[in-house]
Amino acid sequence: PKFKAAPGAAPAAAKAGGSAAARSSSGRRSLPGAAAGAAPKAASSKRAAGPPSGAPPRPLPSAEEPTEWPPKVPLGPFEDVLPMIEEDDDAIDTLILQRLGAFSGEASDAEPSAAGCGLGFGLKALEYICGCLAKNTTVTHLNASFNSIGDLGASRIAALVAAAPAGPPLAKLSLNYCSVGDAGAVALAEVLTANKSIRTVELLSNSIAAAGGEALLEMLKKNRTLGQLMLNFNDVPDATMIQIERQLMVR
């Protein structure tokens, strides 16, 4: 069957409970809420849409710790797309880490844990998912937004990127609202310095401050492939943000 997703970011489509999917211009099927297509042609330093300036980050939902294992990532009518990712199904080019019901109002007051943070995915699940991606050659967009994976999770994704050319040929990495701090930003900056495939990195509404911002700035001075780095709603000093925007403008 053919699937069609509404345009926009993953959180906007998440209300559908993972029931929407789309095909990219190449004919590949995308996960719900994904914007399939080529990477940005030009650098952009414009601020992305989000909460008003000075507003606190949107809280992540929380729910009872899931008991099923291995974790499942839905795709349209499919309850779990991870086996398809592991088998290198060339119909899939976008992977959004979203559980069924993650944004359907099923949250409770349970505390998130390392195995599965609330209704999102945690470190244990992320490790499993990265293992499924290890030999994949078709996924170009990995979206882990709204999963509280923290610095350790960002470092695990950095290791996946560092394994190139093995693993997925990522062109876009979305880690918005992931509780990533300076250590995670530094880990990402280190692997992105020599990366030639990733053109867009989204790190909106995390906990990145001076050290992480400086590491990303130094990365941009050496990496001329990355055209878009979204860092709004972090704690990066204004002076560093200005220098980052200048680096992106001269791509």
Q: How many CB atoms lie within 10 A of CB 7?
A: 11
pTM of this structure: 0.70
Per-residue pLDDT reduced to its tens digit, 146-170 = 999 999 999 999 999 999 899 999 9
Determine the Cα–Cα distance for residues 219 and 210; give it in Å rounded to an integer.
Answer: 14
**Which helix (H) or strand (E) segment is 111 a member of?**
none
Query: Using CA atoms, how far apart are residues 34 and 32, in angstroms rounded to an integer?
Result: 6
HSE of 6 in the Cβ direction (CA atoms, 13 Å)? 11
Q: State whether residue 95 is helix, strand or coil.
A: strand
Q: Which pLDDT band holds residue 77 (cuts at 50, 70, 90)? A: confident
Q: How far is CA 131 from the centre of its chain?
A: 16
pLDDT at 101: 53
3-state secondary structure of 3: coil
CB 210 within 8 A of CB 237: yes
Q: What is the predicted pLDDT for the residue at 130?
A: 97
Q: What is the bridge-based pairing of β-strands 22-23 and 29-30? A: antiparallel
